[in-house]
C-alpha cells in the first residue's frame, strides 16, 4: 500500500554542478552524499516544513528509461518494498530498478508504468520518524 510521498529524485550528468545549483535554490547544504570513485553519485537534501527529501542521482547509475538526461522519480513510502514491487509488476509495470538497500533504513525500487512513467517505492525510516513525530 502506498503511504505517502517520501523522496523526489532528479538525475544529472554533472552531480557537483547540480548540487551547487540546488544548494543555492534551497539555501541549504545537502545532508547526505554517497560517493563512487571519489565523486558524488547520489546527494540528498532535506527541505521544507516537513523535511521532504530531494535527491540528485548521477545518470550513470540509474538512467531515465526514455534515454533523456533529466527527469524525476517520485518515491512513495511503503512498508514492504519487495511486496509492492511485485504487486506493481503483476499489474503490468516493467522493471526499472530492482529492490536495493541503499543504506540502513532505506530500500528503493522503481518500475515503469504501462504509460512510460517511472514510479518509485521506498521504505524510508526518515518518513516514519517524521510521521511518528506528528502524532
pLDDT, tens digit (0-9, with 9 covering 90-100), for 58-97? 888 776 655 666 677 888 889 999 999 999 999 999 999 9
Pick from 120, 135, 132, 134: nearest CA to 6: 120
User: Does residue 3 register a pLDDT over 90?
Assistant: no
Q: What is the per-residue pLDDT for 46? A: 93
> How many residues are given for the chain?
135
Task: Report the domain count for the chain.
Answer: 1
For the stretch 5-58, pLDDT in tens is 888 888 888 899 999 999 998 899 999 998 888 888 999 999 887 888 999 988
46: which strand partners? Answer: 53
Query: Domain range spanning residue 54?
Result: 4-133
Q: Do residues 57 and 11 touch, judged by C-beta distance below 8 A? A: yes
Q: What is the per-residue pLDDT for 50? A: 80
Query: Scanning the structure block, which residue is given the C-alpha cell 528503493?
Result: 108
Give the CATH number, domain containing residue 94.
3.10.180.10
Amino acid at each position: 500500500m502506498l503511504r505517502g510521498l517520501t523522496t523526489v529524485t532528479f538525475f544529472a550528468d554533472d552531480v557537483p554542478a547540480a548540487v551547487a545549483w540546488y544548494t543555492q535554490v534551497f539555501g541549504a547544504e545537502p545532508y547526505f552524499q554517497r560517493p563512487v570513485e571519489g565523486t558524488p553519485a547520489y546527494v540528498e537534501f532535506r527541505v521544507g516544513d516537513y523535511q521532504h527529501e530531494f535527491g540528485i542521482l548521477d545518470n550513470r547509475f540509474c538512467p531515465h528509461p526514455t534515454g533523456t538526461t533529466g527527469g524525476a522519480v517520485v518515491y512513495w513510502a511503503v512498508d514492504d518494498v519487495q511486496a509492492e514491487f511485485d504487486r506493481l509488476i503483476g499489474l503490468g509495470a516493467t522493471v526499472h530498478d530492482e529492490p536495493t538497500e541503499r543504506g540502513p533504513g532505506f530500500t528503493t525500487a522503481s518500475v515503469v508504468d504501462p504509460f512510460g512513467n517511472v514510479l518509485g517505492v521506498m521504505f524510508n525510516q526518515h518518513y516514519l520518524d517524521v510521521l511518528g513525530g506528528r502524532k
